[in-house]
Amino acid sequence: MMKDIFPGRLGIQQRVIPSYRAMFLETLAEACQGGLSVFAGRPLPKEGIDPVEELQNVQLVKAENKNFLDPSSSLYVCWQNGFLQWLEEWQPDILIVEANPRYPTTRQAIAWMHKNKRKVIGWGLGAPPMHGPFTSLRRRERLSLLFSLDGIIAYSRQGAEQYLQLGVPREKVHIAFNAAEPAPKDPMPVRPAQYSKGKATILFIGRLQPRKRIDLLLQACSAIPEELQPHLVVVGDGPAREKFESFANQVYPSAKFVGAKHGDGLKPYFSEADLFVLPGTGGLAIQQAMAHGLPVIVARGDGTQDDLIRSENGWQVPPNDVDALTRTLHQALSDPSLLRRKGEFSYRIVAEEINIEKMVEVFLQAINDAIDQPI
């Protein structure tokens, strides 16, 4: 039976902690009787990541990230000054590190922990195929890191399978589905059988950056038959807002850009929507939309969405493919009852399977499994 607490001191290292991780870390800290300390640095300005600045009941120690090249480069390296000093001061019983061989100081930390007869768990997206220069060397470095760990937590089933294919023992691999929201507290919303405004309402929520590809969504809405063309509501702000609004005036002028909304300010938009669409990359609002009983259409990504977006609750479309998005919108909007059924399944997924509470459970399972292994 899984233990629901960890009696010792937990340390977590990451290159960067995005702000959406705050609730997960604070929830995990409640289960760590000895406390939780997090060691992380700041992102590069061009990454557009909003980092955590403070945490409740969690010690947040700022790393000094020394970046060599760019994170998008296959030869990128990040040196985190202060890692060993933090370990000396915090003295964690278990350390969870980013399972990334491009951080040399992580190897030093693993060696320090093992020297002191303590366990280290990796946390990562997976181990996708490598390309580019020095591939053989980089593969060896990856394997060396993975096999030095006492356990691995993958974000997704796909990531876990990649670790297993490299030879990591199955008993050391855990799957903590990537969650940004707690399980919904409110009951499943009830929507009318037919669209309340005569036509469907499509909702997008997110930071308006070029990679969000709102232009594809506008084109797709304009390309489906007029009787199905939806009310499109875009919630968010960002550097590409003016460009997207200008494009909307040309191809789909009925689209509404309402600016950034947060917290309770989002509730009426979720309530009035019939479908949530994410045409580009990223998108923390997907789980919020599902918690409000909405079906979803998303662009296929790195595999972490495969567990969240299934045929029962939505559609994944090829990225940057306006024709595929148009066909999927046409299918989705043609059948309100189909959308309602998929929306109910969305709610079930985030209520029962993929939420912060379940993610914490898996971390505790991985921690206690590692502790039970002999040194």
Pairing status of strand 77-81 against strand 64-68: antiparallel
2.40.50.140, 3.40.50.2000, 3.30.70.580, 3.90.930.60: which CATH number matches 10-180+355-372? 3.40.50.2000
14 to 11, 132, 159, 280, 354: CA distances (angstroms): 10, 25, 18, 25, 22
Query: Same fold for the domain at 10-180+355-372 and the one at 201-352?
Result: yes
Q: Which helix (H) or strand (E) holds 87?
A: helix 83-90
79 by Cβ neighbours in 10 Å (0-12 / 13-18 / 19+) ranks as middle
* pLDDT given for residue 303 in this prediction: 66
Instruction: Tally Cβ neighbours within 10 Å of residue 180.
Output: 20
Check if the beta carbon of residue 184 is closer than 8 Å to that of residue 347.
yes
Provide the sign of the torsion angle of the four alpha carbons 131, 133, 137, 141, taken in this order.
negative
* pLDDT given for residue 3 in this prediction: 64
Check if the beta carbon of residue 126 is closer than 8 Å to that of residue 116.
no
Count H helices, E strands: the chain?
12, 15
Check if the beta carbon of residue 198 is closer than 8 Å to that of residue 228.
no
Give the start-end residues of each E strand in 262-366.
275-278, 296-299, 314-317
305 by Cβ neighbours in 10 Å (0-12 / 13-18 / 19+) ranks as buried
What residues have CB less than 8 Å from 99, skipping those under 6 apart?
122, 123, 124, 145, 146, 149, 152
Instruction: Tally Cβ neighbours within 10 Å of residue 323.
Output: 12
Edge to edge, the sheet with strand 256-259 lists 256-259, 231-235, 201-205, 275-278, 296-299, 314-317
83 by Cβ neighbours in 10 Å (0-12 / 13-18 / 19+) ranks as buried
* pLDDT given for residue 176 in this prediction: 96
Give the amino acid at 4. D
Q: What pLDDT, in 10s, does the model give residues 267-315?
A: 999 999 999 999 998 777 899 999 999 999 999 876 668 889 999 999 9
Edge to edge, the sheet with strand 10-16 lists 59-62, 36-41, 10-16, 94-98, 119-124, 151-154, 173-175
Check if the beta carbon of residue 80 is closer than 8 Å to that of residue 102.
no
* pLDDT given for residue 1 in this prediction: 34
Annotated domain spans of the chain: 10-180+355-372, 201-352
Residues with pLDDT less than 70, the chain? 1-3, 302-304
Cα separation, 324 vs 216, in Å, equals 10
* pLDDT given for residue 72 in this prediction: 86
- Phi and psi dihedrals of 184, rounded to 5? -60, 140
Check if the beta carbon of residue 281 is closer than 8 Å to that of residue 299.
yes
3.40.50.2000, 3.40.50.300, 1.10.1270.20, 3.40.50.10470: which CATH number matches 201-352? 3.40.50.2000
242 by Cβ neighbours in 10 Å (0-12 / 13-18 / 19+) ranks as exposed
Cα separation, 149 vs 97, in Å, equals 9
* 3-class SS of residue 234: strand
Instruction: Look at residues 149, 107, 105 and name the one whose alpha carbon lies nearest to residue 124.
Output: 149
121 to 27, 96, 233, 238: CA distances (angstroms): 19, 5, 42, 37
305 to 117, 162, 271, 324: CA distances (angstroms): 37, 16, 23, 18
